[in-house]
């Protein structure tokens, strides 16, 4: 036989013809092979390619159905669709395979499998195992589509085709050629409906018995414990073999997705519904639950109370832990015929838990118009959570009042949180007394009870116990794994109380544990991250604060109005502490708009305090007059609790200092002094406020100022402490005291940054071999401030050195860079930092102003 050299066949399975031809050219010199595969997997294509290559090599090839005509030695016989041939002809092929000297390749489907075909295959298999052709791999689907579609197929489309067709080559080819004919070289994303219609038309050609079984499979019969009625086990085995040979089912017996779609869409609806009801009846007869098939039946449009009940039951089971799934299941239950009013409160709870406040609000609006709305307590909890996240905590409290005597257990505890937060102490106490008798033992209820208790204690004489209760509430809520609607998460409340108490490490720890434990799910995470950033900002760790903010901004979805204000206030606080005037003005403009949307409540006093100071800095204090008046009124209604009022008084003192209005300081200083006896933070702030006023007056005791600065750091106000010491250093003429105060400022600032924070705000690049690499770390800090246009005095204030020392640093920098004048120095510094990759320079430490 002439030598055979394989070419480059136009098929995604190039290795198959090559391996078979290798047999033909091997030691025995004879090719004898059986090729088995379902419909349309490429058997005929393989034979065509073998014929092409044998003929190219000069070998005679025959493709007829009878070997009666004598075949020359060394010629090739290619037999296709052998499963269709009679036993007599198959017997002749078996004899030729056994004793002949011709090459033979026989292709056939695995069903039907006659005795004659079994004998032929057995004869061939004694020489070599059969070649089994199956579904395309994902890569082969993409490759085939690129052959039949102009310009190839987008990767996403190819992946979609693989999933829909199960890789069945005949379906892959049908999709590819149809798309190529319809859209040419245009990009496509979906399988055209015309493909579904064509598949449906081909399914009409199968036997009625097989078609009926395929519909049964399509609606959800699994052929295991729940078999379709009217079929014996033998019938099912035979029909499944037939379907597998026709490439309509996957190897495990499941329908190919595209075939299932065609069956459901192209079969008359009444036939589909009849089969679906047979499935429900069959499941009920076996005593099994409908859980496994209920979703598919609902999605396909079946109305049946048994299906609806199964979906409702499944949704209830995941409501607390998987609210996103619960939303889908409740919607499907309603589609299957469940009472939408009865499910409304649970749907709203799930929607709030996944952050879809608008949809939840619409559901609740419809529900609460009913005179006897079912599940009212659950509905009110969901509604109260919506109002709280919108920043309208007074409306949350009003929802609980509306519930009246139906308020009990966990809902009552949450009502206490809302009412205290909006200033209704009398209402909170009345509810707290009534609810104590109806507490549930569940983890969520216990956590809610501790939340209510902790918040009530925070405004009373036992404020020191509030943090304990709230930390425990956070631990228990995290342990529960529940995602439930709340006015605020226990971790957030614990962090707020901790920050108001000066316990920044505890605030950070509570938030870290809550985030790590997934408290409240993805919808609670943004607020926790923002409070983590706030904690870091107060601790003078701006890089850590910005990292937490970045996690929020990189997430999906928008912040709720309450958290949007917190975010905008953080931007303001960070800009103010970095002395970025332009950035501060922009941040303030954004924040002043956000605050218009949010009334004052107890849990928003921290951002309000920050905005009060920033407003004074940008000379826009009038914008916040109404909000401040509301805040003082709220605190007065609550009895001016020190834990919540002291930080706001401190912010007002700072604002008075910035606006140079010493007469405004008196009431706030008096409030701090009044609260100092039983509240450590108030005592520290009262002392610091007095020392700050003395510094501004130019007559102060440096040792007392240093002690006050360190006291501020001890209650979590590290940045304020370093700023106080820096102020004092800039206003003393005693060089020894100046050095002492500057050392204090540096010590506080470096201590804040010791926990892995880049306090400079600048990350220098790797020094170049040029002049810039000769600068010391301190000189680089000074250089950054020079580029920002700072004077000697401003640079000295920023890094806590004297103006003369700053001048000395600049002279050293000029000498090292070889600059002879200021313009040349600025040019060379820009080149140094551009080479280092520093594109935005911010001061390394907070300035004392």
Other CB atoms within a 10 A radius of the CB of residue 560 amount to 19
Rounded Cα distance between 228 and 112, Å, is 23
**Which residues, in sequence order, are CB contacts of 520 under 8 Å at separation 6+?**
477, 483, 486, 489, 491, 514, 528
Tally of CB atoms within 10 A around 514: 26
* Residue 844 pLDDT: 36
Residues 6+ apart with CB under 8 A from 540: 577, 718, 719, 722, 748, 749, 752, 753, 757, 759, 846
CB 587 within 8 A of CB 594: no
Q: What is the pTM of this model?
A: 0.75
**Residue 804 to residue 566: CA distance in whole angstroms:** 41
Distance CA 82, CA 108 (A): 5
* Angle (deg, nearest 10), helices 305-318 and 269-286: 60
Distance CA 410, CA 398 (A): 17
- pLDDT for 559: 93
Distance CA 581, CA 603 (A): 28
Mean pLDDT by 10 residues, the chain (849 residues): 35 66 65 91 89 89 70 87 90 86 91 90 89 91 88 87 94 90 68 91 92 93 80 89 92 91 93 92 82 88 93 95 95 96 96 95 93 91 96 96 81 94 94 65 92 95 92 96 95 97 94 95 94 94 93 88 96 89 91 93 97 94 95 97 95 89 85 88 91 85 92 89 85 84 82 47 33 72 84 81 80 78 70 55 36
Cross-strand pairs, 108: 36
Taking the CB of residue 564, how many other CB atoms lie within 10 A of it?
Answer: 20
- Number of Cβ within a 10 Å radius of residue 630: 16
Q: Are 326 and 315 in contact (CB under 8 A)?
A: yes
Q: In 223-375, where do the E strands start and end?
A: none
Contact criterion met (CB below 8 Å) for 770 and 835: yes
189 exposed, middle or buried (CB, 10 Å; 0-12, 13-18, 19+)? exposed
Enclosing H/E stretch for 292: helix 291-299
Q: Are 695 and 719 in contact (CB under 8 A)?
A: no
Q: Is 548 left (phi over 0), alpha (psi -120 to 50) or beta?
A: alpha
Which helix (H) or strand (E) segment holds residue 37: the answer is strand 32-37
pLDDT at 4: 35
Cα–Cα nearest to 263, from 275, 252, 276, 272: 272
CA distance 218 to 199: 14
Q: How many CB atoms lie within 10 A of CB 551?
A: 15
Task: Compute the distance between CA of residue 294 and CA of residue 279 in angstroms, rounded to an integer.
Answer: 10
413: which DSSP letter?
Answer: H
pLDDT for 14: 59
CA dihedral 572, 575, 576, 580 (to 10 degrees): -140
Residue 459 to residue 415: CA distance in whole angstroms = 15
C-alpha distances out from residue 389 to 264, 278, 448, 460, 558, Å = 44, 47, 17, 25, 12
Q: What's residue 282's pLDDT?
A: 87
* Residue among 182, 349, 198, 311 at smallest CA distance from 259: 198
Residue 51, both tokens: 């014929």
Please tell me whether the peptide bond between 685 and the residue prior to it is cis, using omega within 30 degrees of 0: no
Token duo for residue 551:
């996690």
> Cβ(110)–Cβ(38) under 8 Å?
yes
Backbone angles phi, psi at 84, to 5 degrees: -90, -10
For residues 400 and 412, give the distance between their C-alpha atoms in angstroms, rounded to a whole number. Answer: 8
What confidence score (pLDDT) does residue 660 get? 79
> Which tokens is 496 given?
């707020």
**pLDDT value at position 836?**
56
Q: How far apart are CA 719 and CA 732, in angstroms?
A: 20
| Predicted local distance difference test score (pLDDT) of residue 64 | 67
For residue 668, what pLDDT is reported? 92
Closest listed residue to residue 845, CA positions, set 712, 750, 763: 750
> How many residues make up the chain in this entry?
849
The structure tokens listed for 327 are 């939303």
DSSP label of 454: H
Neighbour count for residue 429 (Cβ, 10 Å): 15
Which positions ≥6 away from 219 have C-beta within 8 Å?
264, 272, 275, 276, 279, 296, 297, 300
DSSP bridge pairs for 34: 106
CA distance 777 to 339: 70
Separation between Cα atoms, residue 203 and residue 480, nearest integer Å: 51
Angle between helices 702-714 and 680-697 (to 10 degrees): 140
Radius of gyration of the chain (CA): 39
């Amino acid at each position: 036989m002439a030598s055979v050299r394989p070419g480059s066949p136009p098929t995604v399975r190039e290795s198959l013809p090559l391996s078979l031809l290798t047999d033909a050219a091997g030691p025995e010199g004879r090719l004898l092979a059986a090729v088995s595969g379902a419909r349309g997997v490429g058997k005929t294509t393989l034979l065509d390619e073998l014929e092409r290559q044998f003929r190219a090599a000069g070998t005679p090839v025959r493709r007829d159905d009878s070997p009666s005509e004598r075949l020359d030695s060394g010629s090739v016989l290619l037999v296709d669709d052998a499963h269709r041939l009679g036993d007599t002809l198959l017997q002749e092929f078996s004899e030729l395979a056994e004793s002949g000297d011709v090459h033979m390749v026989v292709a056939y489907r695995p069903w039907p499998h006659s005795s004659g075909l079994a004998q032929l295959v057995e004869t061939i298999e004694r020489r070599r195992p059969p070649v089994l052709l199956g579904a395309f791999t994902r890569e082969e689907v993409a490759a085939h589509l690129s052959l039949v579609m102009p310009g190839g197929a987008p990767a996403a489309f190819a992946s979609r085709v693989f999933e829909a067709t199960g890789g069945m080559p005949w379906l892959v080819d049908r999709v590819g050629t149809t798309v190529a004919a319809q859209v040419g070289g245009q990009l496509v994303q979906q399988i055209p409906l015309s493909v579904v219609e064509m598949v449906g038309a081909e399914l009409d050609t199968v036997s009625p018995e097989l078609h009926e079984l395929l519909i049964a499979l399509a609606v959800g019969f699994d052929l295991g414990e729940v078999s379709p009625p009217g079929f014996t086990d033998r019938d099912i085995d035979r029909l499944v073999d037939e379907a597998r040979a026709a490439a309509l089912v996957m190897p495990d017996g499941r329908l190919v997705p595209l075939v299932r779609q065609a069956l459901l869409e192209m079969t008359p609806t009444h036939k589909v519904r009849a089969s679906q009801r047979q499935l429900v009846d069959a499941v009920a007869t076996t005593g099994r639950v409908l859980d496994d098939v209920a979703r598919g039946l609902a999605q396909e449009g079946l109305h049946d109370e048994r299906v609806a009940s199964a979906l409702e039951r499944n949704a209830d089971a995941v409501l607390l832990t998987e609210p996103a799934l619960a939303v889908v299941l409740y919607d499907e239950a309603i589609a299957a015929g469940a009472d939408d009013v009865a499910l409304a409160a649970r749907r709203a709870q799930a929607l709030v838990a996944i952050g879809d406040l608008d949809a939840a609000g619409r559901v609740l609006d419809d529900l609460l118009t009913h005179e006897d709305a079912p599940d009212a307590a659950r509905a009110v909890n969901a509604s109260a959570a919506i109002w709280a996240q919108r920043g309208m905590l007074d409306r949350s409290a009003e929802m609980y009042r509306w519930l009246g005597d139906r308020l009990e257990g966990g809902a009552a505890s949450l009502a206490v949180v809302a009412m205290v937060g909006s200033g209704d102490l009398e209402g909170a106490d009345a509810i707290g007394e009534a609810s104590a008798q109806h507490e549930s033992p569940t983890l969520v209820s216990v956590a809610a009870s501790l939340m209510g208790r902790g918040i009530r204690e925070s405004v009373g004489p036992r404020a020191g116990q509030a943090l304990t209760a709230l930390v425990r509430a956070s631990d228990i809520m995290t342990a529960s794994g529940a995602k439930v609607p709340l006015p605020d998460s226990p971790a957030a409340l614990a962090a707020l109380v901790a920050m108001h108490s000066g316990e920044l490490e505890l605030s950070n720890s509570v938030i870290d544990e809550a985030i790590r434990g997934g408290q409240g799910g993805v919808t609670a995470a943004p607020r926790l991250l923002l409070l983590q950033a706030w904690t870091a900002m107060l601790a003078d760790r701006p890089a850590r604060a910005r990292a937490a903010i970045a996690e929020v901004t990189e997430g999906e979805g928008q912040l709720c109005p309450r958290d949007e204000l917190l975010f905008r206030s953080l931007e303001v606080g960070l800009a103010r502490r970095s002395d970025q005037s332009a950035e501060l003005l922009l941040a303030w403009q954004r924040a002043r708009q956000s605050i218009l949307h949010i009334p004052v409540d107890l849990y928003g006093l921290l951002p309000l305090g920050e905005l009060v100071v920033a407003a004074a800095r940008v000379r826009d204090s009038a914008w916040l007059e109404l909000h401040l008046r509301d805040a003082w009124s709220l605190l007065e209604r609550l009895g001016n609790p020190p834990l919540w009022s002291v930080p706001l008084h401190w912010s007002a003192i700072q604002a008075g200092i910035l606006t140079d209005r010493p007469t405004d300081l008196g009431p706030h200083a008096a409030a701090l002094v009044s609260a100092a006896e039983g509240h450590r933070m108030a005592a520290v702030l009262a002392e610091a406020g007095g020392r700050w006023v003395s510094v501004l007056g130019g007559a102060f005791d440096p040792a007392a100022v240093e002690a006050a600065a360190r006291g501020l750091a001890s209650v979590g106000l590290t940045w304020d402490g370093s700023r106080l010491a820096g102020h004092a250093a800039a206003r003393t003429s005693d060089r020894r005291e100046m050095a002492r105060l500057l050392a204090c400022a540096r010590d506080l600032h470096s201590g804040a940054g010791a926990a892995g924070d880049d306090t400079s705000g600048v990350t220098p690049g790797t020094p170049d071999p040029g002049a810039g690499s000769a600068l010391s770390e301190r000189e680089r800090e000074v250089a950054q401030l020079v580029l920002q246009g700072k004077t000697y005095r401003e640079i000295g204030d920023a890094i806590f050195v004297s103006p003369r020392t700053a001048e000395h640093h600049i002279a050293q920098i000029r000498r090292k860079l070889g600059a002879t004048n200021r313009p040349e120095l600025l040019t060379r510094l820009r080149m140094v930092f551009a080479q280092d990759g520093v594109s935005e320079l911010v001061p390394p430490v907070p300035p004392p102003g």
